[in-house]
Structure 1
Amino acid sequence: MHRATLLAAVAALAGNAAAQFNMLRFACSQLVVERTDPLVNPGQFYTPHLHQIVGGNAFNITMDPANDPAEQSTCTSCSFVQDKSNYWTAVMFFHHRNGSYIRVPQIGNGGPQGALINDGGLDIYYIPSGRTTAFKKGFRMLTGSATNTNDNNVNRGNICHRCWTSPNENTFVGGAPCTGSDTVAIPKDPRCKLIRQTLIFPTCWDGKNLDSPDHQSHVAYGQGSGANGGGACPSSHPVKLPQVMYELMWDVSKFADRNMWPTDGSDPFVYSMNLGGAAAHGDYVFGWEGDSLQKAMDNGCNLNNACPSAGLTTQPPAQYNACKKKQQAPEDVNGWLQAMPAGEVAMKA
């Protein structure tokens, strides 16, 4: 049985007994929602699609690798004080049959490993498997493709969606991430109360380049797939990294009425590229203070708990929820919109 599958089974049966499988799992609230992307579109305002960004408030449109987010951030929207990294994803929208769009709200995560409280945003996992080498200052990467429209081009074991028939994750649905009935496509089922999105990053590094032109070639997936800490690495990318996983809970409960859904056969739920689940993607810029992440991996730090052996401290939800940043590309992205935010500044419906 794979480690992740075992973890899920133990968690479902024994609650916090799953803590024997040590990994970081913590909340990160929204820092800002805006059209910027310092990896794919550095220096550009009003990038082609909208992102939600979490983490350190030093986030900016260039993210110069010479500048350390851990040193420049004065707060972080993540629960670990030492994590000033930035994490971002596309935003899910509901497309009403009248042509208007609205952002799908998000809820915090629960489950057998304990509730995580988020103001939007996502949950972050760092899953070790054996000896891992933490990311270096200036490291960044992305997973997925914002232009992909073919589900078959996506490994379902790394990027997936789950129809969550419970109104919260306190009632666990399914098994390990990206297994069972999980799909690359965004589910279209009125029975879904939530849609859980999972993005799993590569765990193997070439050991030389902190980035690459496509932000992907310097890393690779190991053998196998899923949330198992990553399998054996290829010789081209021999350095084992902690496995980074994003988990998002989109609350679609208010959109279950099919009378609200488009009549032309188009999808009711789309990402901010106006595309479906095949275009799901995530971006990562490392920003942990000093060697705190390496110490966390070496000392078996667990879940969202303070870890004195690694110097990790946590902050309460009220504190990390309060870490916000003013939009660098100002536009109203709340409420019903006439069209997906793209091109010119978005307009209200």
Structure 2
Amino acid sequence: MRNKKRHKRSRVIGLTVVGVTALAVGGGALLMTDNDASAARRPAGQQAPAWAAMTVKCPDAATRLSNVPQQARPAVDKELATMDSQVADAYQQLAARGAGADQDWVRTRVLEPLNVQRRGALNRIGNEIGRVASRPSGLDTLASCTVQQAAPASAPADGATSAPAGATSAPAGATPAAGTAAPAAPAAGGQAQSGPVKADFVDIRRVRPNVKNPRTRANASRGTFSSRCGRNENKHFNSDNVIVAPGVSNGAHHMHDYVGNRDTDAFSTNDSLAAAGTTCTNGDRSTHYWPVLRQQDGTKEADADQPGGGTEGNVGRILRPDTASISFRGSAVSRVVEMPKFLRIITGDAKAFTNGTANANASWSCTGFENRQLKDKYPLCPRGSKVVRTFTFQSCWDGKNADSANHRTHVAFADAKGACAKGFKAIPQLVQRITYKVAPGSLFAVDSFPEQLHKPVTDHGDFINVMSNSLMKKAVKCINTGRKCG
């Protein structure tokens, strides 16, 4: 039970989003990107245009540290969480300065102190690893950050200028089906220029079908197993991330929705999860969580003055899912094996806007149009159609580890034909599908780290398997025998 857990939640100082957009983690001296080519030609001290919000980009040490000994992981995870907070603090300073943040000021007052802090954290990480194994080389290369201009808020949102990865936009001038009105694009600049912006949205009807599934082979496992876990009716929210930042309050810097296990927060352990209650009707104690979606309609949500909420730019009314389905499906080419208990999987990348899309796995669409999936755009849905978020998880497991240092290398996606790489085994593939009723023209956005500007490409889902052994066996048997269960 939660009231029996004895831990002290640390107080986390939030930040206020004022006038400029956020931060992240990536290397070198002060740079301005091609999004504002004129920046390099402006004299020092001259203000950028009001729309040219700034973001800081740094290397993501968490992703690159793939070989951390088990004994060192708790200390390393806490240092990585400290680095995220350092970025948040630097952003607070940059935001407070606003448009007056010229290059010299940004370099001397923001970037140089941030880089010193990051070197200290990386040095401590090296020391922790060095106590039990060989100290990793090259950690210093992950310290330096840059500043770049974010995209202008006035960019178009018709889908013709920035097609999502894997999708083909309709040609310029394309129109919706006859007799239907085009969904209205939300106004730009939802959160004091921190996003979303008009260019983050696209009419789903302007996106061509782009879903391709592998052809099933004779030995495919064609069944499905589902758990009914509700829509977070019990309002289980927090800004923790027990997978990435265990033991750290507000480790996510954005709010999560939870279904399944009732115990989940930063201080949960395998034992506490196994002993907790669940919202799932079949007794499945697994934990499922994802960033909340908010409608930015001026509503002051309960977390408006809290870390992870309004103090970090996550504002507006939290939308309760209309539906939240949890299902597992099989492999296109083979039978599946049981997942190990307490297997942890993250799909997508909460920092994909600054990290790049190598680990991005956001999937946005609308009911009635789910053969068209968006990666880096929010969908504008026709009236009567719901917004859909789908997280399709990695379905190949290394056969040994329930987690890995960067929380990624112990699992993998199958290839285009549906096969796992050598050394990996097919496991039931988790699909989290969440729908929302969003009025056409409403401004909405996913919660994010402050520096990620609420970009749709940063969406992500998390899972910890806490199924009983008997329930997992039942799920695997159902999937392998081609039945529909749950």
Work out whether residues 200 and 246 of structure 1, in 8 Å CA contact, stay in contact via their aligned partners in 2: yes
Report the CA distance between 1:290 and its aligned residue: 1.9
- Counterpart selection for 2:339 from 128, 132, 135: 135
Amino acid paired to 1:183: L
Report the CA distance between 1:292 and its aligned residue: 2.0
User: Using the alignment, how far apart are the partners of 2:354 and 2:214 within structure 1?
Assistant: 27
Counterpart of 1:282 in structure 2 is 461
Counterpart of 1:216 in structure 2 is 408
Work out whether residues 394 and 411 of structure 2, in 8 Å CA contact, stay in contact via their aligned partners in 1: yes
Counterpart of 2:420 in structure 1 is 233
What whole-Å deviation, never above 9, does each CA across 1:116-147 have from its counterpart, x for those lacking one?
xxxxxx21111022321121123111011111
What whole-Å deviation, never above 9, does each CA across 1:14-72 have from its counterpart, x for those lacking one?
xxxxxx9520133322251121211122112233110011112232323334x2733x1
Matches within 5 A, 1:67-146: 67=271, 69-70=273-274, 72-73=275-276, 75-81=277-283, 83-96=284-297, 101-108=316-323, 122-129=324-331, 130-146=334-350
Report the CA distance between 1:105 and its aligned residue: 3.0
Matches within 5 A, 1:159-174: 159-164=362-367, 173-174=368-369
Higher strand fraction (1 or 2): 1
Count, aligned residues: 245
- Which consecutive residues of structure 1, in runs of 5 or more, have no partner in the other structure? 7-19, 109-121, 165-172, 225-229, 262-267, 306-349
TM-score where L is the length of structure 2: 0.46
Counterpart of 1:202 in structure 2 is 394
CA distance change for structure 1 residues 302 and 56 in 2, over 3 Å: closer, same or farther?
Answer: farther
Asked if 1:251 corresponds to 2:437, the answer is: yes
Asked if 1:50 corresponds to 2:255, the answer is: yes
Counterpart of 2:372 in structure 1 is 181
Three-state SS of the structure 2 residue aligned to 1:284 is strand
Report the CA distance between 1:148 and its aligned residue: 1.3
Work out whether residues 37 and 61 of structure 1, in 8 Å CA contact, stay in contact via their aligned partners in 2: yes
Report the CA distance between 1:231 and its aligned residue: 1.3
Report the CA distance between 1:219 and its aligned residue: 0.6
Work out whether residues 87 and 283 of structure 1, in 8 Å CA contact, stay in contact via their aligned partners in 2: yes
What whole-Å deviation, never above 9, does each CA across 1:194-232 have from its counterpart, x for those lacking one?
1111001111111121101221111110112xxxxx811
Higher helix fraction (1 or 2): 2
User: Using the alignment, how far apart are the partners of 1:151 and 1:36 within structure 2?
Assistant: 21
Report the CA distance between 1:98 and its aligned residue: 9.4
Work out whether residues 68 and 137 of structure 1, in 8 Å CA contact, stay in contact via their aligned partners in 2: no
Select the structure of larger CA radius of gyration.
2
CA distance change for structure 1 residues 62 and 22 in 2, over 3 Å: closer, same or farther?
Answer: same
Three-state SS of the structure 1 residue aligned to 2:408 is coil
- Which consecutive residues of structure 2, in runs of 5 or more, have no partner in the other structure? 1-210, 301-314
Counterpart of 2:179 in structure 1 is none
Indicate the percent of aligned positions where both proteins have the same amino acid.
22
Work out whether residues 132 and 297 of structure 1, in 8 Å CA contact, stay in contact via their aligned partners in 2: yes
User: Using the alignment, how far apart are the partners of 2:469 and 2:299 within structure 1?
Assistant: 51
Work out whether residues 365 and 387 of structure 2, in 8 Å CA contact, stay in contact via their aligned partners in 1: yes
Amino acid paired to 2:346: L
Asked if 1:271 corresponds to 2:453, the answer is: no
Work out whether residues 339 and 427 of structure 2, in 8 Å CA contact, stay in contact via their aligned partners in 1: yes
Work out whether residues 352 and 457 of structure 2, in 8 Å CA contact, stay in contact via their aligned partners in 1: yes
Three-state SS of the structure 2 residue aligned to 1:245 is strand
TM-score where L is the length of structure 1: 0.62
Work out whether residues 33 and 51 of structure 1, in 8 Å CA contact, stay in contact via their aligned partners in 2: yes
Three-state SS of the structure 1 residue aligned to 2:387 is strand
Amino acid paired to 1:148: A
User: Using the alignment, how far apart are the partners of 2:293 and 2:267 within structure 1?
Assistant: 24
Work out whether residues 349 and 359 of structure 2, in 8 Å CA contact, stay in contact via their aligned partners in 1: no
What is the RMSD computed on CA atoms of the aligned residues?
3.1
Work out whether residues 151 and 277 of structure 1, in 8 Å CA contact, stay in contact via their aligned partners in 2: no
CA distance change for structure 1 residues 3 and 212 in 2, over 3 Å: closer, same or farther?
Answer: same
Work out whether residues 204 and 220 of structure 1, in 8 Å CA contact, stay in contact via their aligned partners in 2: yes
What whole-Å deviation, never above 9, does each CA across 1:262-303 have from its counterpart, x for those lacking one?
xxxxxx221111512200101111100123212321244854
Work out whether residues 140 and 284 of structure 1, in 8 Å CA contact, stay in contact via their aligned partners in 2: yes
